[in-house]
Amino acid sequence: MPPAADPVTPDGLAAPVGLRTKDLLSIGDLSVDEIRLILDTAEAMKEVGTRSIKKVPALRGRTVVNLFFEASTRTRTSFEVAQKRLSADTVNIAASGSSVVKGETLADTVRNLEAMAPDIIVVRHQSAGAGHLVAGLCRARVINAGDGMHEHPTQALLDALTIRQRKGRIEGLKVSIIGDLLHSRVFRSNVLLLHALGAEVSVCGPATMMLPDMARFGVRPTTSIDEAVEGADVVMLLRIQLERMGGYFFPSLREYFQLFGMTPERLERAHPDAIIMHPGPMNRGVEIAPEVADGPYSVILEQVANGVAVRMAVLYLLADERQA
């Protein structure tokens, strides 16, 4: 049977489909079809990065503000490259260089920005829900680039793109997420997305870093790393923030590595074609042995490359003017 015909507009071009949400604050804002649309669009966007002129005019004349209240090299750079590849005009505002340090409230910062009529605001903030606050105060579309311990939706999308590329599918895969689950926004976005696409998720970490009410997240918890890795198709490691030791979460980095660090030996229990993922930045010798980070099963740099494509896709799909 031939594939179904594309709906066609009067000028013969493919009819549009898109996202219903105004803002991307949580993976929960997206339906399964919308997640697939973003991933498919990102696949197409990857090609732009292979050209000699890595730039298309899709967002020409659009203003995108990157409003970062938290230090971030990887995510901010990734968004900025994505914006530049789509020809958007990009403005970067970092908390240290703005009036935020002078005591201005987030609400006032956003209203001042709004007066300059940006089309999209990308927000990274220490407080969970900061993106919701920003979205409620402005007409611009808001992309959450990480809000406290809440979510980091574009990270989960780029992880999914990476898994899909390597494994051809996500449905039915066994994914193990290991590390500081409690404080991880990457975990929260990933668990929503992986469930939506039908993966089986198990989680592992110190009992102090598990989530209360874990069962309601639909994941299988264990504090045994061997059990978590057993038969896994995907092993996703989360960053251990070194300052966590102050909250009595674990006694030392040394003991953390002994109990939960990913080593080549431990990885032998995983599926032979398992891939290793890490959202970065990595603490070598804490949550991941250098041999694993640099090993053949590591897709960590692919994740970075896919980050640009996913962010291009999200920017492109959110950039229409329907609700502006």
What residues line the site for other proteins (CB under 8 A)? Answer: 1-3, 5-6, 8, 10-19, 37, 40-41, 43-45, 47-48, 51-53, 55-59, 61-62, 86, 105-107, 125, 127-130, 132-133, 147-151, 182, 185, 188, 211-213, 216-217, 247, 313, 316-317, 319-322
User: Which residue, 43 or 230, has its beta carbon nearer to other proteins?
Assistant: 43
Give me the amino acid identity at 239.
R
User: CB of residue 42 vs other proteins: minimum separation in angstroms?
Assistant: 9
**Rounded to whole angstroms, how far apart are CA atoms 296 and 72?**
27
User: Which residue, 42 or 299, has its beta carbon nearer to other proteins?
Assistant: 42
Compute how many other C-beta atoms are within 10 angstroms of the C-beta atom of residue 13.
9
| Cα-to-chain-centroid distance, residue 223 | 25
Compute how many other C-beta atoms are within 10 angstroms of the C-beta atom of residue 126.
12
User: Which residue, 291 or 302, has its beta carbon nearer to other proteins?
Assistant: 302
Helix segments in 142-261, DSSP class H: 153-167, 185-196, 225-229, 253-260
Closest residue by Cα to residue 279 from 186, 204, 148: 186
User: CB of residue 138 vs other proteins: minimum separation in angstroms?
Assistant: 13
User: Which residue, 17 or 116, has its beta carbon nearer to other proteins?
Assistant: 17
User: CB of residue 290 vs other proteins: minimum separation in angstroms?
Assistant: 31
- Residue 300 per-residue DSSP state: H
User: Which residue, 56 or 305, has its beta carbon nearer to other proteins?
Assistant: 56
User: Which residue, 273 or 321, has its beta carbon nearer to other proteins?
Assistant: 321
User: CB of residue 55 vs other proteins: minimum separation in angstroms?
Assistant: 7
User: Which residue, 239 or 266, has its beta carbon nearer to other proteins?
Assistant: 239
Provide the terminal-to-terminal Cα distance of the chain, rounded to the nearest Å: 41
User: CB of residue 303 vs other proteins: minimum separation in angstroms?
Assistant: 20
Compute how many other C-beta atoms are within 10 angstroms of the C-beta atom of residue 108.
13
User: CB of residue 229 vs other proteins: minimum separation in angstroms?
Assistant: 25
User: Which residue, 148 or 280, has its beta carbon nearer to other proteins?
Assistant: 148
Residue located via tokens 């209203």: 111
Length, in residues, of the chain: 324
- Residue 26 per-residue DSSP state: -
Q: Give the H/E segment covering residue 208.
A: none
Angle at the Cα of 86 from the Cα atoms of 132 and 304, rounded to 5 degrees:
70
* β-bridge mates for residue 141, sequence order: 120
Query: Which residues does 2 contact at the CB level (< 8 Å), separation at least 6?
Result: none
**Rounded to whole angstroms, how far apart are CA atoms 60 and 87?**
5
User: CB of residue 123 vs other proteins: minimum separation in angstroms?
Assistant: 11
User: CB of residue 168 vs other proteins: minimum separation in angstroms?
Assistant: 16
Angle at the Cα of 170 from the Cα atoms of 310 and 298, rounded to 5 degrees:
70
